[in-house]
Every structure is written in C-alpha cells, then in structure tokens.
Amino acid sequence: MLRFSNFLFPESRDPAHDQDVIQESLEEARLCDELGVEVLWLAEHHFDGNCAYVDPVTFAAAVLSCTKRIKVGFAVAQVSLHHPTRLAEQMSLLDNIGRGRVIVGLGRGTAYNVYEYQGYGIPAEEALERYEEAEQIMLRAWTSPDGFEHQGKFWQIRMPHFRPQPFTQPHPYLIRAASSEDGALHLARRGVPFLMNVQSLETTATRLSAYQRAMAESGFDAAHIARCMDESWVWRNVVVAETDAQAREIAIPAFEAMQAHRKALRERIYAEQGVIMKKETAPPARVNPDHALICGSPETVAARMAEIDATGVGGVICAFRLGPMDAAVTQRSIRLFMERVAPRFQAPVAAAAE
C-alpha cells in the first residue's frame, strides 16, 4: 500500500526569523513522529532562505534526538559540496544516533542555483563527477573498516581506519535522486530505487513504466523490480483543509509565493553575473499548481493519492509547509492528512482467529 512522508522544506524570508522557523520545524518533526508519518525528508539549500535550517546533517541529529520512531531521510544531501570522508563519518554517526532510522539520500547538488556552488568555491560543471567519485569513497569507507586508499580526480585518500562503524550493516540505507528520465533509467540499470522530483501524473506514470522496463532489460527479475518500486518515492506539495475551497484559499497563494521566492536570487545572480545553470524555455512541472500541488478536502486529496498509488510507486513525499504558510496552518493540514487521508491506504487488519 502507498506510504506517506513529509518533506520538511521550511522557507524563511527574513534572516531575523530563521531561529523561529527552525524551532517550528522541530515542532513539525515531533508532530509527524506522533502521528505516524513514516519518513521526515530534509533538504539542503544555501544562502537564499529557501530552507531555513540550511545544513540537513546537523538538523538531522536534532530531529533524531527529539523523536522516537520516524525515519529521517535526505532529499538530498548535496554530495558535490562536501568532502566525502567527512560526509561518510557524519552519516555513520547519524545512523548510530538513530539506531538505523537514517535514509541517506544522495544527489550531485542543485541543478538550478549556481550561487550555491559559488558560495562553496566549487565549479558547478564539476558537480556530477564530484558526486560520482564521492559516492564511491563513502561506500568504501563504510565497508572497509580496516582502511583503504583512493586515488581519484578530486580526492587522494589514505584511510587508516573508519569510525564509527555504521549501525546498519553493511552501510546506511542509500537512495539516489533522479531529476530527469535519463537519470531514472541510469538508476534502473543499476537496479536501485530512486527519488523522483515533482512531475505531472502523466509524466510520473510514464517514467515509472520506463524505469521498470529498463530494469527488466538489464536482467533484474520481477521480485527485484517490485522491491525497487516499493522503495521509490515521488514528490508532491500537499495542503488539506475541511473543504476544497478552504484548501485552495490556503494553498494557491502560498504555492505561488514559494515559487517566486525560490527563483528570486537565481534571477538576481543572472542579472548581475550573466550566469545561469539551466535556462528554462517553458514553465517546468514544479511551478505548475495543476501538476505540483495537491490541495483539497480529505476526500479530494485521497482521490489524487489513489491516482499516484495506481502508478505502482511505493511512497509519496508530501511537502506540507509551502513558502510563507503559517506553522499552525501546516500542522492542521498534516493532522487532517494523517487522520483522514492516510488511513484509506493502510492494509486491512486481519480478523482475529476464532
């Protein structure tokens, strides 16, 4: 059955309010733990206020310490901005703190915000190669406790002994992000699950079908393909209220304000420097409320979730707090979702034997 998670991606427009949004985010994490949300996903974005806590590794430690059962996932750690040895140590420590509650979501880094690479002094054009080499190093660190040597393009490492060893063996649970069909097919050929960014329902269904075909063509059996589908997630922005009208009144202004804020610094850098990572000639799915936003009464939202369930994917990453949305409004939306939408997708409990 379809599983649900929360993408905790809190915007803070005013630096003076960062501390308030960070505290509200911890409260949201505790609420999700209480209500039975399966995973709390954390983002990583820098310098623009689009993600108030900025550093998901540090924030994950705080979340794991104040919750009991919810898993904490990265969607995603921007691997190309980190030293792989340091990131491997941090993830292993989190895996121990949470006693296996960590999902290490890896990606190369933002495909849109060149200023994030500039702020870290890393050429954006090196992002993919850095990510691929860093992932290899991290996997070797986790699985080579007695040390290893690595001679690569970006890092030359002589690892004497890796500590702490991961709680989860042979290494923390890994998942990768794919923002394009080519990326999804690359992961399919490796036979691994993936995180899909916001897409229309039609694109989601088409891409998941292509993903399954590519795995089959690569020699993976039906059981393995089914397991990868069950462990893959798609992202939607979600707002639930008592009625469709109330939900749209909350969701549409917040969604539009969020999209405007997310592109503001990108456009300013382009105006000042003439540098942009991806020039979009048509509005992408992530900014189209018809594709990227599910809002309405519990009945309406459940119907939209049933459409996603029909694609065969295992879970939905629900971003509940959109842009400048008030924390209390967000919490009401999460409660309505978990109490009146999510139960419709739970497997029926077998009757007790007589």
Token pair, residue 146, equals 């007695």
Query: Is there a contact between 108 and 130 (Cβ–Cβ < 8 Å)?
Result: yes
For residue 35, is pLDDT > 70? yes
What's the pTM value of the predicted model, to 2 decimals?
Answer: 0.96
Determine the pLDDT at residue 352. Answer: 44
Q: Which one-letter amino acid corresponds to residue 13?
A: R
Tell me the pLDDT band of 291, cut-offs 50, 70 and 90: confident
* CA neighbor of 48 nearest in space, from 115, 141, 1: 115
Q: How many Å apart are CA 238 and CA 305, to the nearest integer? A: 10
Query: Is there a contact between 101 and 71 (Cβ–Cβ < 8 Å)?
Result: yes
Task: Kindly state the DSSP code that residue 42 receives in the 8-state scheme.
Answer: E
pLDDT tens column, 62-89: 999 999 999 999 999 999 999 999 999 9
Strand duo 39-42 + 102-107: pairing: unpaired
CATH of 3-345, one of 3.30.930.10, 2.40.30.30, 3.20.20.30, 2.40.10.480: 3.20.20.30
Strand duo 3-8 + 315-319: pairing: parallel
Query: Which CA distances in Å does 218 have to 177, 221, 302, 310?
Result: 20, 9, 35, 24
HEC secondary structure over 243-282:
CHHHHHHHHHHHHHHHHHHHHHHHHHHHHHHCCCCCCCCC
For residue 130, is pLDDT > 90? yes
Domains of the chain, by residue range, sit at 3-345
Backbone dihedral region of 219: left (phi > 0), alpha (psi from -120 to 50 degrees) or beta?
left
Please count the residues of the chain. Answer: 354
Radius of gyration of the chain (CA): 20
